[in-house]
Amino acid sequence: MQRTEPPIGVFDSGVGGLTVLRALRERLPGESFLYLGDTARLPYGTKSAETVCRYAEQAASILVDHGVKALVIACNTASSVALEHLRRRFAPLPVFGVIEPGAEAAVAASRRGEILVIATEGTVRGGAYERAIRALRPAAAVISTPCPLFVALAEEGWVEGPIAEAIARRYLEPILAGRPEIDALVLGCTHFPVLHRAIGAVTGPDVTLVDSAATTAAVVAASVEEGLLRPSRAVSREIRFLATDAPQRFARVGAVFLGEAIAPTAVELVDL
């Protein structure tokens, strides 16, 4: 008889958080996961903090109702404004965001303390990365800039080649030219890791790209290894997908971020 184990819940405004899920699966191959994409209300990055906080609580509630053993906020915007609220609201359930792990990795990667954060408008406006980085390294110089076209490129699958590199050059070259001491760049949106090569072609080898998806997965994995989050002992492991709109598009676009095909029939439509 196969034993079941509560899954780890992951949510995002859409499909970008699948980069976090991909990293989590690589670090924790023995765990089951339940992923929710709030595709009916994306993007979160252009909405007010109050609205994002409300949406995040509603998305988290769906996952909690499904019996998850931990929550991962796979959205930089939601992490920046709703993390502490969700920790209080769902205590003692472990809740992880992507901002703190990304900030820690950026501080560790930067030799000169000059760090560039690229993100959505909402994440930049909230200033969460600046606060988190300076809490660890008060003298750090943090420059943040929104790169909204990267989201569209990622969702279209145009993640490499001349178009992606031209847009990356338009966003980044003026900043890098004016701040040549920058030596770490935080990919502060879960869409951005799939553009790693195009962004790296512009920044060059002297700038370390910090992937908040990978760093968040490392923090969650450490919690399992240290016994803070109960490891799965289930015989059967699974991954389930929930979406609040357009499950077929979720499956098609999400495959770019997850790195493997998603069957449209595997995506359950839910209403928040």
Query: Active-site residue numbers?
Result: 75, 189
Helix axes 148-156, 247-258, angle to 10 degrees: 100
Closest listed residue to residue 198, CA positions, set 254, 118, 129: 118
Cβ atoms of 121 and 44 within 8 Å: the answer is no
Q: How many CB atoms lie within 10 A of CB 204?
A: 8
Biggest distance spanned by C-alpha atoms of the chain:
63
- Please give the Cα distance from 31 to 5 (Å, whole number): 8
Tell me how far apart the alpha carbons of residues 224 and 150 are, in angstroms, rounded to a whole number. Answer: 33
Buried b / exposed e along 123-142 (16+ C-beta atoms within 10 A): bbbbebbbebbbeebeebbb
Beta carbons within 8 Å of 269's beta carbon, 6+ residues apart: 242, 243, 244, 245, 247
Give CB contacts under 8 A, 24+ apart, made by 137-140: 137/107, 137/110, 137/113, 139/113, 140/107, 140/110, 140/113, 140/114, 140/115
